Structure 1
Amino acid sequence: MSATETAINKQETQVPLADAVFQRILDAIYDGRLPPGSIINEVSMAQEFGVSRGPVREAVRRLQGIQLVTREPYIKARVMSLSAESALELFQMRMALEGMACNLATQRMPDDEIDALLNEMEQDRQQRVSGARQPRVFDFHERIVRACGNQRIIAALCGDLYHLLRIYRRHSGTVLERKDDAYAEHWQIVRAIKSRDSGLAESLMRSHIERAANHLVRHLPDTVRPT
């Protein structure tokens, strides 16, 4: 039995099989093994994961539902292609919702939670500087959103839509200069949160997302497909 099949079988004891397959395909999209525009071959995936086509088909349908996979009649499913128009719409939505989330988080985050966030950011910085492989992904934006306490905003940004947002955010930070700038902007936002300046924190978050959007749109043609 392959390592992938072993991992899938291990997950199967903890979560439904289709959910385990869904996560495996998500990971392949995140790390670039399934790049934008690539074909989703359900038969080969079922063989790779050591499962029947049913769980793969169900996982692909779910990916279609959150717009990570597209399928036209009589055409095989493909990983969605990144378009400037779609990216801009998503980032405009983020500006509004995450700006308000940051405002609310500034008012509601306990001091010890803010200190914990600062410590995690410093650990993340040290790992980046050292080049050490990170055992987990530190998601600054998710932490701020979940700290806002507004369940509708959390559901909108941390539910299934989160996966699509993460794909675009990943591409917005692929250029080193933007990574460095984004990291500095994160620190400015947290300093505003720590000083309990909710208006400044919201403004900084909105500006941060707007810069990321402008950067991404500049680097995306109308549609990005593999060569």
Structure 2
Amino acid sequence: MNTATISIATKEDASGPLADVVFDQVLDAIYQGRLAPGSVINEVALAQEFGVSRGPVREAVRRLQGIQLITREPYIKARVVTLSAESALELFQMRMALEGVACNLATRRMSDDEIAQLLAELEQDRQRRLEAANGGASAPRVFDFHERIVRASGNNRIINALCGDLYHLLRVYRRHSGTVLERKDDAYAEHWQILRAIRSRDAELAESLMRSHIERAAKHLFEHLAEGASGIAGHPVSAA
């Protein structure tokens, strides 16, 4: 594994245990695709890169296994999870069902101020994307539209299902469904449509738009897979 592309935090930057620093940095590398699916996790190389012993690295890898982003079998090196078409389909189907309901509930439960704040954050995210597209410096992305809607639903079971350990795997699949600039622009426009429905307090429309949004993301992912995208194993399957 080539660890040179990972942005490494120094010990002085770490506010917590070194294992947390390693975990956060490797997690971000997986999110951003700098560690591609199937990449071998070389604990010795990572320890050297971070300037730490293997203990914190081993603990970070163990935690990444726990959230299904790293796989390890007996006598086989640890690797970044390889995404499968079947798993992708199952996760997208689950997202369509649960996020649709979450969007419906959020429409009914969010205050006007919360909706206004979400609109402002979406606009800030758009500005960040424009700056990055124009080669300018931009702040790291901290805004996750889908997570915000799910949490706004107030339904703890849906929140735990989509924002717990499974959240990390969902983010990897979502990245693969939105790697092409055209899809990113479409997804952003769809986010605006969903928020407009929420602001209008049209819960049924908001739910329908969220389901359609996720279905289009799934369709894009499988089309990308059919064109030979790397990192996802298996053959394209219908997202219907």
Q: Does 1:143 align with 2:148?
A: yes
For residue 236 of structure 2, what is the aligned residue in structure 1? none
Question: Mapping of 1:107-186 within 5 angstroms?
Answer: 107-130=108-131, 131=134, 132-137=136-141, 138-186=143-191
Please say which of residues 103-112 and 16-25 is displaced more in the overlay: 16-25
For residue 10 of structure 2, what is the aligned residue in structure 1? 7
Q: Is the 8 A contact 1:106 1:198 kept in 2?
A: yes
Q: Is the 8 A contact 1:106 1:194 kept in 2?
A: yes
Specify whether residues 46 and 100 from structure 1 end up closer, same or farther in structure 2 by C-alpha distance, changes over 3 A only.
Answer: same
CA distance in 1, matches of 2:108, 2:17: 39
Q: Is the 8 A contact 2:88 2:173 kept in 1?
A: yes
Q: Secondary structure at the match of 2:40?
A: coil
Q: Does 1:220 align with 2:220?
A: no
Normalization by structure 1: what TM-score? 0.90
Q: Which amino acid aligns with 1:16?
A: P
Normalization by structure 2: what TM-score? 0.85
CA distance in 2, matches of 1:185, 1:114: 16
CA distance in 2, matches of 1:40, 1:91: 27
**Residue in structure 1 matching 2:195, options 179, 190, 195:** 190
Post-superposition CA distance 1:159-218 (Å, at most 9, x none): 221111111111111112211111111111001100111111111101100110111022
Specify whether residues 187 and 213 from structure 1 end up closer, same or farther in structure 2 by C-alpha distance, changes over 3 A only.
Answer: same
CA distance in 1, matches of 2:161, 2:34: 27
Structure with greater proportional helix content: 1
Q: Which amino acid aligns with 1:64?
A: Q
Specify whether residues 223 and 65 from structure 1 end up closer, same or farther in structure 2 by C-alpha distance, changes over 3 A only.
Answer: farther
Of the two structures, which has the highest relative contact order with CA contacts closer than 8 Å and spacing of 6 or more?
Answer: 1
Where does the alignment leave 5 or more consecutive residues of structure 2 unmatched? 1-6, 233-240
What CA RMSD, in Å, does the superposition of the two structures yield over aligned residues? 2.0
Q: What percent of counterpart residues are identical? A: 75
For residue 73 of structure 1, what is the aligned residue in structure 2? 74
Q: Is the 8 A contact 1:5 1:50 kept in 2?
A: no
CA distance in 2, matches of 1:210, 1:152: 22
CA distance in 1, matches of 2:35, 2:117: 35
For residue 55 of structure 2, what is the aligned residue in structure 1? 54
Q: Is the 8 A contact 1:182 1:208 kept in 2?
A: yes
CA distance in 1, matches of 2:206, 2:113: 18
Specify whether residues 155 and 134 from structure 1 end up closer, same or farther in structure 2 by C-alpha distance, changes over 3 A only.
Answer: farther
Post-superposition CA distance 1:117-175 (Å, at most 9, x none): 11121222233334344313121111111111112211221122111111111111111
CA drift at 1:84: 1.4
Q: Is the 8 A contact 2:70 2:78 kept in 1?
A: yes
Q: Does 1:211 align with 2:216?
A: yes
CA distance in 1, matches of 2:52, 2:160: 31
Q: Is the 8 A contact 2:47 2:57 kept in 1?
A: yes
CA distance in 2, matches of 1:59, 1:161: 17
